[in-house]
């Protein structure tokens, strides 16, 4: 299996990357991003682009991959709906649309968030925007398209990019909410399994992600 990962310089993307590099089912990983990720590994390749809208210029390269794990994302803190839409919906959906035209046989996985609003009508701004993003992605002509909604996550050994809140909350919350707490290695395994065998629903809550990781 050959996979693409975005957001490797962030917590989720880096954790998923670690799992893909360690997993014998994955033979090659292409990291796409705006800046270099400082890691050497025989499976690892890198594509640095100034803007994700440039992705169409690399169609020959992207035709060969089986899955794309979109782990890049922005925080909603300090954002209004317009600005957060630009950093979320307008960031993810055009990229995924282009990828679907290049390689519709691919499985595309988007890391969304717990309590995302599929109705797009709720009171919480970020949840509406992510719901709108998920709904648009589910219409694209991929072989498989899944939206992961993890809650609390714990990092993998050796990770550089772990948010302070997860360093504090992860160990504290894990004993009390095991069904809602995921290791990033489990998130990565679930993504790999989604490419291999799919899943019965396109929206995966934390419990679904845990089941698919096994």
pLDDT value, residue 92: 98
**CB count, 10 Å around CB of 172?**
11
Contact assessment for residue 187 and residue 155, using Cβ atoms and an 8 Å cutoff: no
pLDDT value, residue 151: 87
Enumerate domains of the chain plus CATH numbers.
2-212 (3.40.50.720)
pLDDT value, residue 211: 96
**CB count, 10 Å around CB of 200?**
7
pLDDT value, residue 178: 52
The two structure tokens encoding residue 205: 């809550």
Cα–Cα dist 117/43, whole Å: 37
pLDDT value, residue 154: 83
**Full pLDDT tens readout for the chain, 214 residues:** 999 999 999 999 999 999 999 999 999 999 999 999 989 999 999 999 999 999 999 999 999 999 999 999 998 999 999 999 999 999 999 999 999 999 999 999 999 999 999 999 999 999 999 999 999 999 999 999 999 999 888 877 776 766 554 554 555 555 555 557 899 999 999 999 999 999 999 999 999 999 999 9
**Is the full-model pTM beyond 0.95?**
no
At residue 9's C-alpha, the angle toward residues 54 and 37, to 5°, is 75
4: left (phi over 0), alpha (psi -120 to 50) or beta: beta
């Amino acid at each position: 299996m050959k996979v693409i990962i975005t957001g490797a310089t962030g917590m989720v993307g880096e954790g998923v990357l670690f799992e893909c590099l360690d997993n014998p089912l994955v033979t090659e990983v292409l990291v796409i991003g705006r800046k270099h990720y400082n890691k050497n590994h025989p499976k690892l390749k890198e594509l640095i682009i100034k803007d994700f809208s440039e992705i169409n210029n690399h169609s020959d390269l992207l035709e060969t991959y089986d899955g794309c794990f979109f782990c890049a994302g922005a925080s909603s803190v300090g954002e209004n709906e317009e600005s957060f839409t630009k950093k979320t919906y307008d960031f993810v959906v055009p990229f995924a649309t282009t990828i679907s035209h290049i390689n519709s046989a691919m499985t595309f996985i988007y890391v969304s968030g717990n309590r995302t609003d599929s109705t797009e009508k709720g009171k919480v701004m970020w949840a509406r925007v992510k719901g709108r993003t998920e709904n648009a992605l589910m219409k694209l002509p991929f072989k498989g398209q899944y939206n992961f909604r993890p809650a609390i996550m714990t990092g993998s050994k050796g990770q550089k990019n772990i948010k302070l809140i997860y360093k504090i909350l992860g160990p504290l919350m894990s004993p009390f909410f095991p069904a809602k707490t995921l290791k990033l290695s489990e998130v990565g395994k679930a993504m790999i399994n989604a490419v291999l065998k799919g899943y019965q629903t396109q929206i995966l809550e934390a419990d679904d992600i845990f089941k698919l990781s096994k």
